[in-house]
């Protein structure tokens, strides 16, 4: 099978790219002369007028946007079925399972913390009783860590 023949459009695009590249190289030294300070007076005045008109149009468009955007958003929100969206999210996220998992995790941490505090209190009471009964510290074996 032979490669596809280029169509006339491909040749035009290739020539345009070549011409543009060559033109950029040829006119590169003249680029500083294209700055506005070198423009003739009437052309510079026309450019400044166009710039001012564009800025006025942009400011007017921004004003219209600030008026229209809130009304559009309110219209969209009014058309939404928010209770349906919330119901779909709750159903998709399996909220009851998330609550069970988080509650179980919190309960496990609470029980572990309570065990550690109980062990600390038990050791403090044991030391206090030891002092009252006159036992030397270190003669009584201490309890090991509580298994989970």
Check residues 102 and 116 and name the one with the higher pLDDT.
Answer: 116
CA 26 from centre of chain = 46
Paired tokens of 138? 């270190």
Q: Quick one: pLDDT at residue 64?
A: 94
Q: Quick one: pLDDT at residue 138?
A: 53
Predicted TM-score (pTM) of the model is 0.34
Counting runs of H as helices and runs of E as strands, what totals does the chain give?
Answer: 4, 0
Highest mean pLDDT (candidates 3-7, 8-12, 29-33, 141-145): 29-33
Distance, in Å, from the CA atom of 113 to the CA atom of 131, rounded to the nearest integer, reads 27
Paired tokens of 127? 């030391």
Give tens-digit pLDDT for 16-58. 777 777 767 776 777 776 777 877 888 888 889 999 999 999 9
User: What DSSP string describes 67-122?
Assistant: HHHHHHHHHHHHHS-HHHHHHHHHHHHTHHHHHHHHHHHHHHHHHHHHHHHHHHHH
% of the chain with per-residue pLDDT over 90: 18
Q: What is the DSSP letter of 136?
A: P
Q: Quick one: pLDDT at residue 60?
A: 95
pLDDT band, very low/low/confident/very high, at 70 (cuts 50, 70, 90): very high
């Amino acid at each position: 099978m032979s490669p596809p023949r280029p169509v006339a459009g491909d040749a035009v695009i290739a020539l345009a790219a070549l011409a543009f590249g060559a033109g950029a190289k040829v006119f590169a030294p003249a680029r500083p002369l294209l700055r506005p300070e070198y423009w003739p007076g009437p052309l510079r005045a026309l450019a400044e007028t166009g710039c001012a008109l564009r800025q006025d149009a942009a400011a007017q468009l921004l004003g219209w946007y600030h008026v229209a955007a809130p009304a559009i958003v309110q219209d969209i929100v009014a058309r939404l079925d928010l209770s349906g969206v919330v119901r779909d999210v709750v159903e998709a996220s399996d909220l009851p399972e998330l609550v069970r998992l988080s509650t179980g995790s919190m309960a496990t941490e609470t029980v572990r913390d309570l065990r550690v505090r109980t062990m600390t209190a038990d050791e403090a009471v044991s030391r206090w009783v030891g002092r009252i009964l006159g036992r030397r510290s270190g003669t009584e074996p201490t309890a090991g860590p509580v298994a989970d």
